[in-house]
Amino acid sequence: MLRQVAEGVLIHESEFLQTNAVVVQGRAGVLLIDPGVRGDEMACLANDLSELGQPVVAGFSTHPHWDHVLWHASLGAAPRYGTARCAATVRDRLSDARAKARIAELIPPDIVEQVPLDLLGLITGLPAETEQIPWDGPRVQIIEHQAHAPGHAALLIEERGVLVAGDTLSDVLIPLLDLNDTADPIEDYLAPLRLLEGAADDVDVVVPGHGSIGGADQIHARIDQDRAYLHALRDAQVVSDPRVGPSAAYDWLPGVHERQLQQLARRRERDGTHG
Ligand SMILES: [Zn+2]
């Protein structure tokens, strides 16, 4: 079911991890950002769009993780974009015969059968430094950064007052660091928060990749909450964040938090740095 969150911007929420697909209405059809997870949900979205007479004219994936680069045949054959670095990362991870089997192992067993992998990751990289998604609709500004995953893009739809945050600024997920592709995973997450803060004054609605939609009053609160979590990790202080406390939305989150702590400690030992 599609839900309008701003003029010409609609959301389709998956049961899996409160994943938000974002639909932006253009002149001849819609831009679809991070289409969804389960095949039946994407088919439902495609059906809703065809009832509205709105074909998908462009797709976009915010970052190269499996839950953001799926597609369903019923959504049609529009070009699907990502940043150059996002597309290169996906291409690299799909480059051998065992790739899809490996990705299937990342998907929770209870839904893996329902996640169609045949059209996974077929995205075209936009040239580096591209400032907006090429399509016939409201300007969608690309804010590229390296938090969470290589070539991650937040998207600012200024004339609609909407920030599509990808996997940052969630009310349910803590910042999940990219501990493989980056030399300074915490700073690589803090820097984008400053970028998003710079855009926040134009934002009335924030749409995280997972979690609930935030209103204007939520933008700064969510940036502050992510930043406080990262500062606590960086300074090896006690984390008091409701997203990994007793009221965590998912019972596996405190464990993910513990693993991040351990991996950061190992990196510090390896690099011989402190603090
Ligand atoms: Zn995600």
Mean pLDDT, residues 115-127:
97
Residue 107 Cα to ligand 1 middle (Å): 11
Residue 167 Cα to ligand 1 middle (Å): 6
Mean pLDDT, residues 169-179:
96
Convert 76-112 to b/e letters by CB count within 10 Å (16 or more is b).
bebebbbbbbbbebbeebbeeeebeeebeeebeeeee
How far is residue 219's CA from residue 242's CA, in Å, rounded to a whole number?
A: 17
Residue 94: pLDDT band (50, 70, 90) is very high
C-beta of residue 12 within 8 angstroms of C-beta of residue 41? yes
Q: Which of 221, 100, 94, 127 is nearest to 169 (CA)?
A: 221
pLDDT per residue over 43-55, tens digit each? 999 999 999 999 9
Mean pLDDT, residues 123-139:
98
C-beta of residue 112 within 8 angstroms of C-beta of residue 74? no
Residue 67 Cα to ligand 1 middle (Å): 6
Residue 257 Cα to ligand 1 middle (Å): 16
Indicate the Cα dihedral angle 143, 121, 32, 166, nearest 10°.
-40
Structure confidence at residue 260 (pLDDT):
95
| pTM assigned to the model | 0.96
C-beta of residue 136 within 8 angstroms of C-beta of residue 155? no
Residue 224: pLDDT band (50, 70, 90) is very high
Q: Which residues surround ligand 1, an ion (CB under 5 A)?
A: 67, 167, 209
Residue 272 Cα to ligand 1 middle (Å): 32
**Strand pairing category for 30-33 and 56-60:** parallel
Indicate the Cα dihedral angle 97, 101, 103, 106, nearest 10°.
-160
- Amino acid identity at 112: V
* Whole-number average pLDDT of the chain: 95
pLDDT per residue over 182-213, tens digit each? 889 999 999 999 999 999 998 999 999 999 99
Residue 256 Cα to ligand 1 middle (Å): 14
Residue 209 Cα to ligand 1 middle (Å): 6
Residue 253 Cα to ligand 1 middle (Å): 14
Residue 231 Cα to ligand 1 middle (Å): 22
Residues 126-135: contacts with CB under 8 Å, at least 24 apart: 126/81, 126/82, 126/83, 126/84, 126/87, 127/84, 128/83, 128/84, 128/85, 130/83, 130/84, 133/31, 133/58, 133/60, 133/81, 134/58, 134/81, 135/26, 135/31, 135/57, 135/58
**What Å distances lie between residue 23 and 46, 61, 111, 210, CA to CA?**
11, 12, 24, 15
Structure confidence at residue 274 (pLDDT):
55
Residue 208 Cα to ligand 1 middle (Å): 9
- C-beta atoms surrounding 201 within 10 Å: 9
Residue 158 Cα to ligand 1 middle (Å): 23
Residue 274 Cα to ligand 1 middle (Å): 30
Residue 18 Cα to ligand 1 middle (Å): 10
Residue 273 Cα to ligand 1 middle (Å): 30
